[in-house]
Amino acid sequence: MQSIGENIWIFDGEAVPFFTLPYTTRMTVIRLSDGGLWVHSPIKLTAEIRESLNALGPIQYLIAPNALHHLFIGDWAEAYPEAQLCGTREVIEKRPDVHFNQTLLPDAEYGWSQEIDSLLFTGSKSMQECVFFHRASSTLLLTDLIENFAPEALPPLKRWIARCAGIVAPKGKTPIDWRITFYPNKALVRAHLETILSWQPKAIVMAHGVPVMSGAPAFLKRAFGWTGLTPG
C-alpha cells in the first residue's frame, strides 16, 4: 500500500498473463468524505490487503471499470456484501454470476460524484472504459486506456512486443490492438480527451505500468497524439 495524496492509496498486486505479457495489476483506493472506501479495479484479495483496508475504513463501492477487469470482482463482492458493486454494461454482461448494483453510464450521477468525476470513454466497438478523476488529489484513474510498463520489468523479447504495442514507459499509450478500433471515431476520442484535460489532472494512475506523478496534461496529449489532438 502506498499513499499518493490525502485519502488516496495504490495497491500493487501480482502479475497476470495476458497476450503472453506479464500484466502487473494495481488498484486505487479513495476514502470519501463520509469515511467510506471507493475501490477502483480490485486486485487479488489477500489477508494483508484486507487488514490494510480495515484500518482505512469500510468498503463502500467496488468499481469494475471495463470488461477486462473482472477476475477478482467476485471474491470482493463475496467478502464485502455490503459494498455497492458498479461496472460497465460490458463487464456486467460478462459476469452474470455477480450481482452489480449500478451500471457505469454516460452522464450518470453516483454517490461519489461530488468528489470523483466519471467519464465513459466510448468510440470503440471492442470495449468501453469508465475513467475517473479524484478532485482533491487531482489524480486521473485509468485502467487499460493507457498502459505504461517499465521496460526493466519485461524480458527482452516481451519488451520488444510491448514496444511494438506502444505500451512501454515513458511513452505508454493505448495498446495498438485497441487503439486501432478507435480510429473511425477520432473526433469523439478527442472530445473525451478535452473533457479529461478540463479536469486539469496533475497525476495519472493506470492499472498497468508506471504512474505519471507530474506533467499529466503533456503526457496525455502525447499518448493520444494519434487522434490529431493539438499539443500545447
List, for residues 168-207, the tens digit of each pLDDT value.
889 999 989 889 999 999 999 999 999 999 999 999 999 9
The span from the CA of 33 to the CA of 37, in Å, is 9
The CATH class given to the 2-108+116-223 domain equals alpha beta
Strands (E), 68-138: 84-87, 102-103, 116-121, 129-134
Is the Cβ–Cβ distance between 26 and 42 less than 8 Å?
no
Q: Where are the domains of the chain?
A: 2-108+116-223
The neighbour count for residue 8, using CB atoms within 10 Å, is 21
Compute CA distances 117 → 35, 47, 196, 199, 200, whole Å.
18, 31, 9, 9, 12
Q: Are 98 and 77 in contact (CB under 8 A)?
A: yes
| Per-residue model confidence as pLDDT tens digits over 53-80 | 999 999 999 999 999 878 899 999 999 9
**E strands present in the chain:** 2-5, 8-18, 21-31, 37-40, 59-64, 84-87, 102-103, 116-121, 129-134, 139-142, 203-206
pTM: 0.92
Q: What is the pLDDT of residues 107-123, one digit of tens each?
A: 899 999 999 999 999 99
pLDDT, mean over the chain:
91
